[in-house]
Structure formats: C-alpha cells, structure tokens
Amino acid sequence: MALFQPEDYKHIVTTGSDNYQIMTRPNSHIPETSMKVKIAALLRGFARRCPACGGGRVFAGYISPEEECSSCNIPLSQYRSDDVPAYFTVFIVGHLCVPGVLILERMVSPAIWVQAAIWLPLTLILTLYLLPRIKGTVLALLWVLRIKG
C-alpha cells in the first residue's frame, strides 16, 4: 500500500528542488515511501519549513502553526503535535545540561552561583532554540505518516 495517494498531490504545484520533484510525481521510479523522502521532510520540519515543499514557513509566530503552507497550500494546522515537542525538548535539554552540571561539579566543584550562571541561561537558550525546531520536526513526521488530529 502506497503511503501517499495521488489525491495527496492535487494541492501541490510543480516547481522546486529535486526532493520536491520526487514528492510531486506519484509515478516516479523512486518509491514514494523511500527513506530519502521521509528524511528530507523531517529536515525541512527541523528548519521550520513546510515538510512537503520546503518553501513556506511552518509557524506563523514562535510555535503557532500556519493555517496552510503559503507555497503549496497543504493544511499545516491539521497536524497537531500537542505536547510531544515539549517532552522531546525537555528530554534533550535535560540530557545535555544535567550531566554538564554533574561533570563540572565533579571536576572543579565551583560555587553554586557559578553553576547557576552557566547552566540556567544555557538551559533557557537551548530550550528556546530547540522547541520550535522539534515541533517542526514532529509536524513533519505527522505529515509523513498522514496523521491528522
């Protein structure tokens, strides 16, 4: 069973990069479910770009999804990631910062204010940087899997 049905392409205009061309040709010699297509969509999501065409922005603001892609008109707001991006962000940032605190404490044992001055801003910056990118990746994954919410 094909992951993408021909009716999935009716809203896509034919222009763009090679990956875009692959995704807009249902009868391409490259399988539609190929890992290359899926990874390209996830990378576009991480870049906060439309997973289908890579042209339009995924978010209207910081993490508010656009109603639809300004380039290819796929309905981005129908793919709802809920709390998953926040969970992944906490998981990643926690696994980067907590070992950092422990390693620094073990090696140098600095004053508490030094630890706080290093790790609190780093945690905040990493969280603010990663959250929209992870949300874009999750939206791209939902788009690849055709899971609308």
Interaction site with Zn ion (CB under 5 A): 50, 52-53, 56, 69, 71-72
Tokens encoding 79: 């793919």
Closer residue to Zn ion, CB minimum distance, 54 or 132:
54
CB of 44 vs Zn ion, minimal distance in Å:
9
Cβ atoms of 92 and 63 within 8 Å: the answer is: no
Closer residue to Zn ion, CB minimum distance, 24 or 89:
24
CB of 54 vs Zn ion, minimal distance in Å:
7
Closer residue to Zn ion, CB minimum distance, 40 or 72:
72
Distance CA 149, CA 82 (A): 9
Q: In which residue are the tokens 């001055």 written?
A: 117
CB of 49 vs Zn ion, minimal distance in Å:
8
Cβ atoms of 143 and 51 within 8 Å: the answer is: yes
